[in-house]
Amino acid sequence: MIFLLLAVISDFLTPYGLGLFAPNIHQMKDVMSAFGDVSSPVRTPFLIWSVISGILFVLAVPAVFHYFRKTSVGLASLLALSIALYGIGDCIFTGLFSINEEAATWNLSTWIHNIGSGIGYAGFFLFPLILILLYQKQGELKKVRKYQLLFVISLLFGAIYGLAQLNVPFFHLVGLWQRVSFFFNYLPMVIFVGDVFKNKL
């Protein structure tokens, strides 16, 4: 579980830590993958940092599965898979397959990066949804309502991030809305780790 918390902290801080050394990248306008662009001054640290964050997510998978395996092996597997999807698809693939925003067409690396990010981002939304089903099985109604609220908020800001990518007026700052969306996607994971630690005390 500590790996999961460290992974979230590491991935969340990536753009802000590297942003200190890349003043040309606008935190409000540019997506986070811009740090890994071929023209980025912090490309190599970003790629390495992304892989490390992804590995931390993957290392958390066994503990997450073990925590819920007595409740439901199937749902516990799906919950662990949602974390693995994000760690591999959005973090490790980002580190191994960077993008070139200046290229006229997508190359193989860009295709793999964007497809992996899409699959990984789906893992974000699966995580609180599967938690809801698991806590329903356990009869933990307070936790069910808590994660239902977090899931709705996550979907809301995910939709706003989608609008920002389409350059919809008012939501045109795609970098801002991506970071806000990611914050509310990370939040269920952080709260989940907190719940686990409370149960262990």
Lowest mean pLDDT among 34-38, 49-53, 144-148, 189-193: 34-38
How buried is 40 (Cβ within 10 angstroms: 0-12 exposed, 13-18 middle, 19+ buried)? buried
Share of the chain above pLDDT 90, in %: 65
Q: Kindly give, in sequence order, each residue whose CB lies less than 8 Å from that of residue 150, ignoring residues fewer than 6 positions away.
A: 128, 184, 187, 188, 191
Q: What is the DSSP letter of 89?
A: I
CA dist 163 → 21, 145, 169, 170 (Å): 29, 27, 9, 9
d(CA 192, CA 147): 9
Tell me the Ramachandran region of residue 170: left when phi exceeds 0, alpha when psi lies from -120 to 50, beta otherwise: left
Residue 7 CA to its chain's centroid (Å): 10
- Look at residue 104 and tell me whether its pLDDT is greater than 50: no
d(CA 168, CA 82): 29
pTM metric for this prediction: 0.88
CA dist 124 → 62, 78, 187 (Å): 18, 12, 10
Least Cα distance to 11 among 138, 120, 141 occurs for 120
H helices then E strands: how many in the chain? 7, 0
Least Cα distance to 98 among 136, 53, 50, 162 occurs for 50
- Look at residue 131 and tell me whether its pLDDT is greater than 60: yes
Mean per-residue pLDDT of the chain: 89
d(CA 144, CA 56): 27
pLDDT at 113: 63
- Look at residue 168 and tell me whether its pLDDT is greater than 90: no
- Look at residue 100 and tell me whether its pLDDT is greater than 70: no
pLDDT at 187: 95
pLDDT at 106: 60
Residue of higher predicted confidence among 137 and 110: 137
What pLDDT, in 10s, does the model give residues 49-75? Answer: 999 999 999 999 999 999 999 999 999
Give the domain ranges of the chain: 2-200
pLDDT band of residue 39 (cuts 50, 70, 90) is confident
- Look at residue 156 and tell me whether its pLDDT is greater than 80: yes
Overall average pLDDT of the 145-158 stretch: 94
Overall average pLDDT of the 43-49 stretch: 92
